[in-house]
Structure 1
Amino acid sequence: MSTALKAEITGKEQVADGVCLLTLRPSGGAPEWTPGAHLDLLLGPGLVRQYSLCGDPADRGSLRVAVLAQPDGRGGSLHVHRALEVGGTLEIDGPRNAFPLVEAPGYLFVAGGIGITPLLPMIREVEGRGLPWRLLYGGRTRASMAFADELVALGGERVALRPQDAHGLLDLDAALAEAAEGTAVYACGPEPLLGALEAACSRFPLLDLHTERFTPREIVLDGPDGSFEVELARAGRTITVGAGETLLEALEREGTAPSFSCREGTCGSCETTVLGGTPDHRDSLLTEDEQAAGDVIFPCVSRARSAKLVLDL
């Protein structure tokens, strides 16, 4: 069921090269959210985009998202930059959090470019709780790195700004080597950075890595996509997912689709409980342990390894 709200655009400002910060005032007040949550902006028919909330969860009057203009993207970011104006309105949905902040003795935050947005409220939270933290923040240039001055003012020497034009690629091994056992490593940024960080963390098994992706991770398929059956437990019927369609498309066809947004396995909107069968996970959200548990599926991208799935739909 949609939770869409009308929101007034009360602020729009440039906070870095190519990055604008939107301040939104939802009708009836801002919904509750926690660091790591994202918001859906309903920008037009078929144009729904997710952006991480980067304001203050205690602010019950407004929500803030920062958007990077991507000329080679799918059109959502350019619509935000070019079409939205202060005083206008749009619909929002959420917030949802597939990237929650876990309890840990300390934190290492790693950001690449606009990936700083979900980490910013996390950093404020752990700073307010008096917990140890450090930030390794990279970008193309210093001018492209949003909120850099605010973060340096907050963290001082705990914040390492490393624009690529001056420093090259981030030294992930050095940052991880300095982290104490049990440190939670939170990272968001482009896929090459996250892939490199996952590889680096494999050499530091006592650290706890958490990532959020803008784009799907590369999935290596080990066989053709065949058809399979899906039992809809609550609806009391069984449907067939064809070899040429996604599970979500089949559910849409039958009028039983859960809420969805990205169709890429990155936002978490369509998470569905699995009651039986073995999913073929192709999302970019679940950890290996969560995939092995097999109790949820993201039908926009994932399929079945067994001949039949039973879903709580």
Structure 2
Amino acid sequence: MAQAIASGILTGGLYGIIAIGITLNWGMMRVINLAHFSFSFLAAYFTYQITVDTGIDPFLTLFVTIPLFFIFGVALQWFFETFEIEDFMSLLVTFGMFLIFESIMRERWTADFRTLSSTEVAYKTEALRVLGLSLTVTRLAVFLVAIAISLGIWIFLNRTYAGKALRAISQDRAIASAYGVNHRQMALLLGGIAGASAAIAGAFIAVIFVLRPDGATDLIGFIFAVVILGGLGNTAGAFMAGIFIGVVQNVTGFTSLGPGFAPLITFLVLIFGLLLRPEGLFTGIDTWLAKMLSGRQT
């Protein structure tokens, strides 16, 4: 059981990274971006292909994929802004994009399973023993990166002018514009950040998972649960919710129920969580971080 919990915590780090782009778009721009899932897997395929073709470490491909997917994210956000796509309409439009990107991946890489072998990623199967628990190096790395990204974006949103401008836009666009905030410019920046987070998630997906074009469909339910429980627009909450859902998923698989019941248990947890706290179970982490970083007693 302890091993299942530890593995769930580390898996939750990846869920948190994927959820960041979705929670930012949904919470601040009212765009429910289903295409972000296929973005993450497209980035994973890019990572896979570059690694196979060049032989470089998959994480070095981030020097290519982060700028590339930042641009993709900006372009996608420009599309949303130009055609004023929000709320339910965004769900329909991005679902179509999700299917298009999935078709592109199937056409380019076929439906065959693809994976980076231990020959291409020497540390793929390496693990550390901590308190009798086996922690794989790659999953531990994704957990630490998830902490850094969620904390970094939280600081950006709460401590910088651009971040505060984004928060102001999410609360009231008209008033924010009246105070000189360029809504379109801030929206494009947010889209770029979401795209860059998809690139980072893609690198870890390529290393940890077996790739297939429809692989994103396996994660949609879990990631949406993470986004909702974490609170819309709350990256720190998404990280904590990712850990929570990762543990729920792994512990369910460890019990007699088996992994097949993990989606059902996850949605039951989501329902009870919404009943207890409709705004999200982990929205309080935002206040806690603010107090901790300001030096006040929590």
Structure with the higher fraction of residues in strand conformation: 1
- TM exceeding 0.5: no
Indicate the structure whose relative CO is greater, using CA pairs within 8 Å and at least 6 residues apart. 2
Q: Which bin holds the TM-score, normalised by the shorter protein?
A: under 0.3
Q: Name the TM-score, length of structure 2 as normaliser.
A: 0.24
Greater C-alpha radius of gyration: 1
